Amino acid sequence: MKIFNIVVILSFFISVFGLNAQAPFEVTLKGQGQPVLLFPGFTCTGEVWEDTVVELSKNYECHIFTFAGFGAVAPIKKPWLPKIKEGIVKYVQEKKLVDAIIIGHSLGGTLGLWLASDDIHPYSKLIIVDALPSTGALMIPNFKSEDMVYDNPWNSQMLEMDAEAFEKMASQMVSGMTLNTERHQQLKDWIMQSDRETYVYGYTDLLKLDLREDIAQITIPVSVLGATHPYGLETAKKTYEEQYKNLENFNIEFAVDSAHFIMYDQPEWFLEQITRELE
């Protein structure tokens, strides 16, 4: 009887905590064929891939991700980015995906590099859209990964910022993310919808992540699509060459006159590049 009671109690806890465990993302499936995992950038939902999926879903099985804390997906406790990575590994294993292709924009591209840096993985190709192995090294002078901690004055300021100030900041940010002004409101809405702690601590996770040495372990083909606005082609080339110098098997193409959201600024060019790389 005691053994029976223990089994019942364990089953109860497993079922309760299993049901209540918050997934680190939501996935929408469209199309059939070779699996393609589409990872959005920071604060964005899977909707950022809408036009891309219209084309890809004709020949591929598109797994469109929206990460926890963004859009309508409930937040998870930190560390945010490591939990997302672990969740994707589990997702791919459970779905038994073979020769999966990753297409990742910004944060999603860096995440793709992280996944492919593992010794054993089921991916066949990476397509990276305006993303770097180390965002922190680009943005912070004398960058050191170990200096990126959750408890810092900037994070405290961001967490305490009222809605009006946060909205003003969001409006300023989106103006430089895409040259397509019709998309500014959408990008701003995604920022405003994001869970504040995810916005703050999740970005700390991204800044902390430094894959410049780890990408030397990647053995699958990598294609990079880089933006040139606002610093120009030569500066963009220098940045990408420096950050990707330890990656042997990759090619890069630059979208002239495009800001960070290449799929919005140069949509035809973007789809041509994606289609060519997949073929």
For residue 4, the model assigns a pLDDT of 35
On whether the CB atoms of residues 262 and 274 are closer than 8 A, the answer is no
Measured CA distances, 223 to 75, 124, 133, 164, 175 (Å): 31, 12, 13, 40, 27
Look-up: residue for tokens 């990476």? 126
> What is the edge-to-edge ordering of all strands in the sheet holding 250-255?
25-30, 60-67, 34-39, 100-105, 123-129, 222-227, 250-255
List the domain boundaries for the chain. 24-278
- The pLDDT profile of the chain, 279 residues, written as one tens digit per residue, is 444 333 333 333 333 334 346 789 999 999 999 999 999 999 999 999 999 999 999 999 999 999 999 999 999 999 999 999 999 999 999 999 999 999 999 999 999 999 999 978 899 999 999 999 999 999 999 999 999 999 999 999 999 999 999 999 999 999 999 999 999 999 999 999 999 999 999 999 999 999 999 999 999 999 999 999 999 999 999 999 999 999 998 999 999 999 999 999 999 999 999 999 998
Task: End-to-end CA distance of the chain: give it in Å, rounded.
Answer: 62
* Burial zone of 107 (CB within 10 Å; 0-12 exposed, 13-18 middle, 19+ buried): buried
> Hey, what amino acid is at 154?
W
Dihedral angle sign, alpha carbons of residues 241, 243, 246, 249: negative
* 25-30 and 60-67 beta bridge pairing: antiparallel
Q: Tell me how far apart the alpha carbons of residues 109 and 103 are, in angstroms, rounded to a whole number.
A: 7
- Three-state SS at 126: strand
Q: Tell me how far apart the alpha carbons of residues 60 and 65 are, in angstroms, rounded to a whole number.
A: 15
Give domain 24-278's CATH number out of 3.40.50.1820, 3.90.120.10, 2.20.28.90, 3.60.20.10.
3.40.50.1820
**Rg for the chain, CA atoms, rounded:** 20
